[in-house]
Amino acid sequence: MEEANVGIKARALNLLRNEANKIEYLLIVQKEKMEVPTRPMYEEILNTHIFGLSKTIDFVIRLKLVSESEGKEILLELERKLYKHINVS
């Protein structure tokens, strides 16, 4: 039974990381499509998606599929990546 829980936890972490990667990809695509990037547009899109991801992470934490620190690390890593993309322009 514990082996199954480890598999479920790994799948949950993988799914959350994939969602974070999709948000990063969305920023990259939007940045490439815009002739004149505007910070408010980035912030609005990212805030909406990051909020959704954070709610999903909270839910998965409440289910005890991932720890709070693992969930926070996914969000922090995403924020670091997004910050680099936004500040390169």
Q: Where are the chain's structural domains?
A: 2-88
User: Which residues, 6+ apart, have CB-to-CB distance to 58 below 8 Å?
Assistant: 71
pLDDT digits (tens, 9 = 90+) for 12-47: 999 999 999 999 998 888 877 776 556 676 677 788
d(CA 28, CA 33): 9
Q: Tell me, what's the pLDDT at 2?
A: 65
* Alpha helix ranges (H) inside 1-89: 2-33, 39-62, 68-88
The CATH fold assigned to 2-88 is Helix Hairpins (1.10.287)
pLDDT digits (tens, 9 = 90+) for 63-73: 999 999 999 99
Provide the 3-class DSSP secondary structure of residue 3: helix
